[in-house]
Chains A and B, each alone.
Chain A
Amino acid sequence: MKDESPFTLRRFEYERRHLYYLPNPIFKTLEGEKSVFLIGSRGTGKTTLLTALSWEERLRNAELTAVLSQMGADQNCIGIYIKMPETLAGAFDTWIPAFPLELRASVFCLYIDLIWLQSLMEAVAQMLVEKRLDAPPSKERKLTQRVLDRYKELNADARQTGPFSFKRFASLLYEKRRTMEKWALTAAEPEKERLSRAFPLTQIGSFGRDTENELAMFCEDCDQLRHKWHFKICLDESECLSPFQQRALHTAIRLAHAPVSYVVSYVSMMEDMSNTFIKGMSLQEADRELIELDSMNDRVFSDLAEGVATVRIRNSPTGEAIPTFDTRALLGDLDINELLNSILQISAAPEAKAILALAERLSKSPFYIDTCEQSSTLPIYQAYIIDRLALELPAPNSPHWQRRKQDSAEIRKRMVAAYLCLCKELKTRPKYASAEMLFQMSDKCIRDYLNQMDSLFSEANLPLAEFCKRRLTTDQQNAALREASRRKKDSLPKSEVGSPVETGRLIDALGSLTARLQTTEVKSLRASEKGNFVVDTSRQPPEQGEALRILKEASEAGFFKTETPNERRVRFRMHCSLAPAYGFSYRGAYYDCPLGIREIVAIYHEPDSEARQQLVLSIGDRLLQDSPTLFGAKHDGP
């Protein structure tokens, strides 16, 4: 009987018990004493990292506590997790519009302070109950009284009577927040004096800073080991905040100091990540760390992905005891010539036989013997490139022999282009298989890695224990990875993009365009893997705003991969997970192709699919002209 897939995809929020694998260096930075911006497109694991810091999650999830203690995580850090879209931050964006910006920023930051301070008070109350901290109840009340003496506005209407334990003080803060939310939601227009009588308004974040200082001292005093304590405010999905609110938040981060710091997660780099509301003061590198999950190196990503897979397998109902899940053992290494060989051997096309014969001849040439790694498979892609570009192979002792290693490297660079072009010539679809392809097609996204693993598990149709020991065949891998890519493509309507119809048209068109640019024989061989679209944004035509929004949302949802844009250009490519669905390179794209805003707009505004296809063909024709050359003019192909 087949086991339940341990790789099934669910959003964090829908999981009853979340499993944690925490990459050590990233997690250590997050729990450190400096504030952090955590940037990553959807599915890169931001929520997992942030909730691992949360004191409530630690309390609920014994497994997380075990993982944290195993990795030597800081036991004196209290993390408070806040999912920003679940707050009523949106109501504050338009509230009291006539008030000065600084005052509005102060009000908004007080709102955030009230949320996290309530949680922090509850955390410390919980630790007193659990005896992690030891203090008489009177000590709690003295602290809360000091805060109330300083900020009389908190209980100005004496709705609750003291003395206040931490738990009751948390309720008081909650009441205050609810009042603030009601005012903001109903767009009440209080006079400034009334606002300042009702709420402790001072410098941005000052109420939070004062109170957490008191709490940190309390924790240290009541900790038998006299440890220093610090607090981490984790704000998830902060891209939902308006630019004004983000600026207010960045001001609070700039003013924050030990023992409190922030982790703010964004789905992509925001336009303004440094300005504050304080004149002459900006948020600098010294004030915060920056972790970009989309650009972690390949090794870190594969360790993270396999760590996540291992934890899921070990915690599956069958509880497989594996040391570490090994993707390479399951899928094997990438060998393009082996993939080509499996395609050519069964092809009836005369070109297939001809290429095999060329490869046979090349394998015996001095150039190949001297420069290429010896392999049991024939040098098929090399023979194809040399033939199609009419390259003249240097003979030993000829003047060009000196350059043979560089020439060989140039050929190797075009390996994937040759693979795709040859498949196109033979009218067959390229096969997608191997661990390297799977990692590349994950494009640094854990959710895509799991989606592909889930599809492989389903295709293998084996009990989990067997699955972990087997090597899947190329055809099994190919079928599974195609299915995963199709699933991803079909997930667009369920994604969080604002214009799914237009976005779908653009993804389809650019997917086909990328495949065409990469598989148009000689032109594609000269400039390997075109399809890095560069959009000039300096001219700012009227339709640019909408086009850039569609691109941004599709990138955040994992359909495109966009570099951090600047004022002059946006550079993006298709997400690698969509490669099998459209037949482009598993590596995505490397070479730049200029694409106009008007071309993008024309694509997504065109409702007729044939007309859209025609548009893609003409853009493709334009981009296929003027390709750079291989080996310089002398060795250029026809």
Chain B
Amino acid sequence: VIVNHKLNARDYEVRAYEVRVPFYTATPKVPRKVADPALLRILSVLPDREERFDNVRSESGLSKGGLANALLEGEWLGLLAVQDREEEPQYWTVKKVMR
């Protein structure tokens, strides 16, 4: 994660912008090998469309905390995209990354 700080010349406010660079491997098999088993379960139930956190939770049967951690790991491994990460997990939406 790269945090980019920008100074606004108008009001002298410093704002932080996050740039996330996912883990990249030559083949998608590698992340799947090292991933948490919970993440693999999530990937198996996750449809191709964007899905709300609670829907994934009911499909995967994971706890809120367990699912949140697994999703963040999935994002780091470049397998998933998580929207609204700065909010509470119930507001997240998740989508598979096609490689």
Residues of A within 8 A of B (CB): 125, 128-129, 131, 136-138, 157, 159, 165, 167-168, 182
Contacts and interface: CB of A to CB of B under 8 A. Distances in A.
Contacts of B50: 136-138
B90 A168 contact: no
Contacts of B54: 129, 131
B27 interface: no
B41 interface: no
Given A138-B50, A165-B84, A159 B91 contact: no
Contact of B84 (A138, A159, A168): A168
A371 B13 CA distance: 85
Contacts, number: 28
A157 B83 contact: no
Contacts of A128: 52
A128 B10 CA distance: 38
B52 A129 contact: yes
Interface in B18-47: none
Contacts of B84: 165, 167-168
Q: Which of B49, B50, B53, B84 has the most CB of A within 10 A?
A: B84
A129 B91 contact: yes
A165 B91 CA distance: 9
Please name the 7 residue pairs, one residue from A and one from B, whose CB atoms are nearest each other, closest first.
A137-B93, A167-B91, A129-B90, A137-B50, A167-B87, A165-B84, A167-B84
Contacts of B11: 182
Contacts of A167: 84, 87, 91
B49 A136 contact: yes
A168 B87 CA distance: 8
Contacts of A129: 52-54, 90-91
B63 interface: no
B17 to A, nearest CB: 8
B4 interface: no
Nearest to B17: A161
B49 A165 contact: no
A125 B91 contact: yes
A238 B91 CA distance: 33
Contacts of A168: 84, 87
Contact of A137 (B52, B87, B90): B52
B15 A165 contact: no
A93 to B, nearest CB: 23
Contacts of A157: 8, 10
Contacts of A138: 50
Contact of B15 (A125, A136, A159, A182): A159
B27 to A, nearest CB: 30
Overall SS of chain A's interface: helix
25 contacts: A125-B91, A129-B52, A129-B53, A129-B54, A129-B90, A129-B91, A131-B54, A137-B50, A137-B52, A137-B83, A137-B93, A138-B50, A157-B8, A157-B10, A159-B15, A165-B83, A165-B84, A165-B91, A165-B93, A167-B84, A167-B87, A167-B91, A168-B84, A168-B87, A182-B11
B89 to A, nearest CB: 10
A168 B52 CA distance: 15
Nearest to B6: A159
A131 B57 CA distance: 13
B95 to A, nearest CB: 9
Nearest to B95: A137
Contacts of B49: 136
A138 B52 CA distance: 11
A129 B49 CA distance: 17
Interface in B80-99: 83-84, 87, 90-91, 93
A273 B83 CA distance: 46
Given A129-B52, A136-B50, 4 more contacts: A125-B91, A138-B50, A167-B87, A182-B11
A129 B11 CA distance: 36
B82 to A, nearest CB: 12
A397 to B, nearest CB: 88
A268 B66 CA distance: 54
A359 B83 CA distance: 86
Nearest to B94: A137
Nearest to B10: A157
Contacts of B90: 129
Interface string B68-86: 0000000000000001100
A168 B11 CA distance: 23
A139 to B, nearest CB: 11
A379 B8 CA distance: 86
Contacts of B52: 128-129, 137
A322 to B, nearest CB: 40
Contacts of B83: 137, 165
A509 to B, nearest CB: 55
A127 B45 CA distance: 24
Contacts of A137: 50, 52, 83, 93
Nearest to A128: B52
A394 B52 CA distance: 88
A311 B83 CA distance: 44
Nearest to B15: A159
A138 B15 CA distance: 27
Contacts of A136: 49-50
Nearest to A194: B10
Q: Which of B10, B11, B50, B52 has the most CB of A within 10 A?
A: B52
A136 B84 CA distance: 15
Contacts of B91: 125, 129, 165, 167
A17 B15 CA distance: 39
A572 B38 CA distance: 72
Contacts of B93: 137, 165
B38 to A, nearest CB: 21
A127 to B, nearest CB: 12
A144 to B, nearest CB: 12
Contacts of A131: 54
A168 B88 CA distance: 11
Contacts of B87: 167-168
B94 to A, nearest CB: 9
Q: Which of A125, A157, A165 has the most CB of B within 10 A?
A: A165
A137 B94 CA distance: 10
Nearest to B53: A129
A548 B61 CA distance: 66
Contacts of A165: 83-84, 91, 93
Nearest to A188: B11
Nearest to B93: A137
B52 to A, nearest CB: 7
